Structure 1
Amino acid sequence: MRRKGRHEEHENLERWLVSYADFITLLFAFFVVMYSISSVNEGKYKVLSETLNTAFSTTTKQPGYIERSADPIQLGTITQSVDGAELPIAPDTRPSSPDVVDTGGGGSAGDDKAQLQGVADRIERELAPYIQDDLIQLKRHESWIEVEMKSGLLFPSGRADLSVEVTPMLEKLSDIFKSVKNTIQVEGHTDNKPINTREFPSNWELSAARAASVVHQLMRNGIEPHRMAAIGYGEHHPMQSNDTEEGRYRNRRVTIKLQSKSADKTSAVVTPTPPAAPR
């Protein structure tokens, strides 16, 4: 009897495709999960951000909390929160002057004047060489002290640019003025010789620019800007007659006036408007 031969099974050479497909599927799922984790929900993020801002910017009213009107011109209503109820209280009608700072002498007029004279004594000691050369004059008053500087010391003729030589002197003055909080008024003066340039159509502009140059230098030296005012008087406040060269020399000057607290009645001084330049 003839024996039938055994049939050999065919070997599948493409089984690796199944494993490869499974690997690709898992890799795709992995990147989908990673993307979903890294993606930020902008809507939820915005809601969370606004909630935190509201929570931290809102002031919780505690018992005894006083709320004042934000309008600085009108007094407004002042209320006090007591056990959750808003009760009106009488406003403080005492006059306040935030621009006038206590000079540290106890608040009395006598202490203020004494401190002002102490500043004058220090100026005389530290600027003695300039005073002896008649480049600076110190004037005293019970309500103010005034440092008068000749324009020839500060500026070239017809200019408002400070000379380099005057910088050490203004630095010494600034160090002295830092010891007090009084207001400082810088005034520019000229003689009656007319000036008509593109930069300075008249003596008004020249005197105001010179006063402003001194103010800027004092500010660079550390003096607070809110304490100072720059004023230009032109030739209209002469000390002597302009008929002589000596008189004109005396009239060309810049003065720095340190006012006492009692004399400081206004917070600002308006510079006069210069007249139209002659054509």
Structure 2
Amino acid sequence: MARKRYDESSGAGEHHERWLISYADFITLLFAFFVVMYAISIVNEGKYAVLSDALGNAFGGRGAAQQVNTHVEPVLPLSHIVNRKRAEAARRERERLQALAENLSATLLPLMKSGQVRVTQNARGIGIEINASVLFEQGEAVLHRDAREVLRQVADLLKDHPHRIEVEGHADDLPIATPQYPSNWELSAVRAASVVRLFIEGGVAAPRLSAIGHGSTRPVAPNDSPVNQARNRRVAVMILASAPEPLAPGLQ
């Protein structure tokens, strides 16, 4: 008996709901995708390990996936990094100044013991206060030979440092009026310049140096006795600390 031919026009055997199968597959895959995304969003080492193994087994065979390293180094803000570097630079600067102050004290120790020289350190820098009688004859601005030797040793310690140096001349209130020095202003300024000139000869860069004459305007003791007047006749050498850089925003 001849097989009955299929009548294509009759529509027999046609399924109008086949799109549901593809739609269901799509929904299933979409659900799986969001589950994976949710799992990844939670920082949990155990879940990462399970997910890594599962994906490795599914796509490349057992052992194909390596364990995900969930350890993440914290990222510091730029301001923290900048301020940390500046703090480290400031610490090294303090250590350099402290070492310089110790070397200067060792060099000037005999004069410090006799009370003719003082070495101090503060936030502004290192101060060396030298009694004028150690350096000059009274009313003169020419350095003694012994004083020149001591100052050369100081210059040798200072020449390799970058700090600015201020040399200040000070006088007592006794008036002076000579053809060379009409007042204590001139005398104190020339004395400071004499020390600056010796430092330059000793290798200290000239742009780092400045000479200042204060006359009798900044006494360290009342000018009421010869002893106090001798204290006020002095030369002060100030090694200035580098100005600290401002903090970056965020840690001020």
User: Considering only CA atoms, is the larger Rg found in Structure 1 or Structure 2?
Assistant: 2
Structure of higher RCO (CA pairs closer than 8 Å, 6+ residues apart): 2
Q: State the match for 1:174 in structure 2.
A: 155
Deviation, 1:143, is 2.8
* Aligned 8 A contact 2:173 2:223 in 1: yes
* Aligned 8 A contact 1:113 1:142 in 2: no
Paired with 1:127 and 1:217, the residues of 2 have a C-alpha distance of 17
1:154-174 Cα distance to aligned partner (Å, 9 max, x none) = 011101111111111111101
Higher helix share: 2
Give the AA of the match of 1:130: L
Deviation, 1:130, is 1.3
Deviation, 1:263, is 6.9
Name the SS of the counterpart of 2:222 in structure 1.
Answer: coil
Give the AA of the match of 2:169: G
1:187 corresponds to 2:187: no
Paired with 2:244 and 2:180, the residues of 1 have a C-alpha distance of 35
Moved over 6 A (4+): none
Q: How many residues align?
A: 160
1:215 corresponds to 2:193: no
After TM superposition, the score normalised by the length of structure 2 is: 0.61
Out of 181, 184, 188, the position equivalent to 1:200 is 181
1:8-38 Cα distance to aligned partner (Å, 9 max, x none) = xxxxxxxxxxxxxxxxxxxxxxxxxxxxxxx
Out of 234, 242, 245, the position equivalent to 1:261 is 242
Q: Alpha carbons of 1:135 and 1:114: their partners in 2 closer, same or farther (altered >3 Å)?
A: same
Deviation, 1:107, is 7.2
Paired with 2:181 and 2:218, the residues of 1 have a C-alpha distance of 19
Paired with 1:107 and 1:145, the residues of 2 have a C-alpha distance of 20
Out of 186, 193, 206, the position equivalent to 1:225 is 206
1:165 corresponds to 2:152: no
Give the AA of the match of 1:111: R
Structure 1 unmatched runs, 5+: 1-104, 265-279
After TM superposition, the score normalised by the length of structure 1 is: 0.55
Name the SS of the counterpart of 2:167 in structure 1.
Answer: strand
* Aligned 8 A contact 1:143 1:263 in 2: no
